[in-house]
């Protein structure tokens, strides 16, 4: 188990280094000068040059990379070109929205998907199974921004139970803050739940056709006991994989939902930083996100090893 973990850690470090080089290089190649963008169409060339110098953009590329990466290693993420506040403050402010939102969505999606998937697998081929699978198909097919708008029109515009969007901050009170995240969490969770339910069902069905399940049944274990004790644990591997991917997606890939609910989340920070060519923000946040994804995957790998002892010896 230990050497397995060490090997995974090494891979994590190499991935992070490669990601930092790629992110930096790509953003430097992308056309668009942050200073020119900030000063607009009427700016004089000397004003643009003065701003470039202020931003440190007049330095050559490679020293800039090392200054940046050196800062990252010592926990200094740099200062936003546009907001002129430390990037880490921006990220922290966004994480207090994005992280709870991602966790809420993940919780909702798991809470819906696992029971539904297990229920469907246990009743394979019945009308109930067919009905549930048709519903999940619909859940996957509906674009989440459209579903989000539907939620807004019903619960915010017509019923006025929750606000149509925005985030009041945690200072406004736990319920006020949570209610602002409720609709976005549902909008994010539903399609994810649909996918997860289908994966759970098919993974369980795969496992249920294995020899050892037949053996368990043959030695007289009741169907339910076989399902819970033998099948479910082994079926969890694909489910964990999908969950890991979904969490990474929920953390930063929620830009569309964040736009629909005008939430100050990480996805919108990155998107806005890209359009404003706030390179330092994009670079630092993307590397942070890569780190998160890689670490989540690392944890998922460890969870595989827990779920499947054979992996530990590999």
CB of 97 to other proteins, least distance (A): 8
CB of 31 to other proteins, least distance (A): 5
Longest dimension (CA), the chain: 85
C-beta of 52 vs 124, nearer to other proteins = 52
C-beta of 54 vs 130, nearer to other proteins = 54
Residue 7 phi/psi, 5° resolution?
-60, -45
CB of 291 to other proteins, least distance (A): 21
Give contact residues for other proteins (rule: CB under 8 A).
30-34, 36-44, 46-47, 50-51, 53-54, 82-85, 90, 93-94, 149, 152-153, 156-157, 160, 163-167, 169, 259-265, 268-269, 272, 275-278
C-beta of 230 vs 277, nearer to other proteins = 277
C-beta of 238 vs 264, nearer to other proteins = 264
User: Which long-range contacts link 78-81 to residues 24+ away (Cβ below 8 Å)?
Assistant: 78/280, 78/284, 79/280, 80/273, 80/278, 80/280, 80/281, 81/34, 81/38, 81/55, 81/276, 81/277, 81/278, 81/279, 81/280, 81/281
C-beta of 278 vs 301, nearer to other proteins = 278
- C-alpha–C-alpha distance, residues 176 and 154, integer Å: 19
Q: Which DSSP category does 86 fall into?
A: B
CB of 119 to other proteins, least distance (A): 35
CB of 99 to other proteins, least distance (A): 15
Q: Which of 280, 288, 296, 310 is nearest to 94 (CA)?
A: 288
């Amino acid at each position: 188990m230990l050497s397995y973990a060490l090997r995974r850690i090494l891979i994590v470090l190499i991935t992070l280094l490669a990601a930092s080089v790629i992110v930096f290089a790509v953003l430097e190649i992308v056309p668009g000068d942050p200073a020119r963008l900030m000063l607009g169409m009427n700016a004089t060339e000397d004003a643009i040059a003065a701003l470039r110098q202020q931003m440190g953009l007049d330095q050559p590329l490679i020293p800039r990379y090392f200054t940046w990466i050196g800062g990252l290693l010592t926990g200094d993420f740099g200062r936003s070109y546009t907001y002129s506040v430390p990037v880490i403050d921006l990220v922290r402010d966004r994480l207090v929205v994005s992280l709870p939102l991602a966790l809420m969505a993940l919780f909702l999606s798991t809470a819906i998907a696992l029971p539904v998937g297990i229920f469907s697998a246990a009743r394979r081929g019945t009308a109930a199974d067919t009905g549930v699978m048709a519903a999940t198909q619909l859940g996957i097919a509906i674009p989440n921004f459209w579903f989000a708008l539907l939620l807004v029109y019903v619960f915010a515009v017509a019923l006025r139970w929750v606000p149509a969007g925005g985030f009041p901050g945690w200072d406004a009170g736990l319920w006020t803050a949570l209610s602002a995240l409720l609709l976005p969490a549902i909008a994010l969770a539903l399609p994810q739940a649909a996918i997860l339910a289908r994966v759970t069902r098919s993974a369980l069905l795969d496992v249920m056709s294995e020899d050892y399940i037949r053996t368990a049944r043959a030695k007289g274990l009741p169907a339910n006991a076989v399902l819970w004790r033998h099948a479910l644990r082994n079926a969890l591997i694909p489910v964990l994989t999908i969950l890991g991917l979904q969490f990474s997606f929920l953390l930063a890939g929620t830009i569309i939902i964040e736009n629909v609910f005008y939430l100050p989340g990480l996805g919108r920070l990155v998107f806005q930083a890209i359009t404003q060519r706030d390179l330092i923000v994009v670079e630092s946040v993307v590397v942070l996100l890569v780190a998160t994804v890689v670490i989540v995957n690392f944890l998922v790998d460890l969870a595989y090893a827990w779920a499947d002892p054979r992996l530990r010896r590999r």
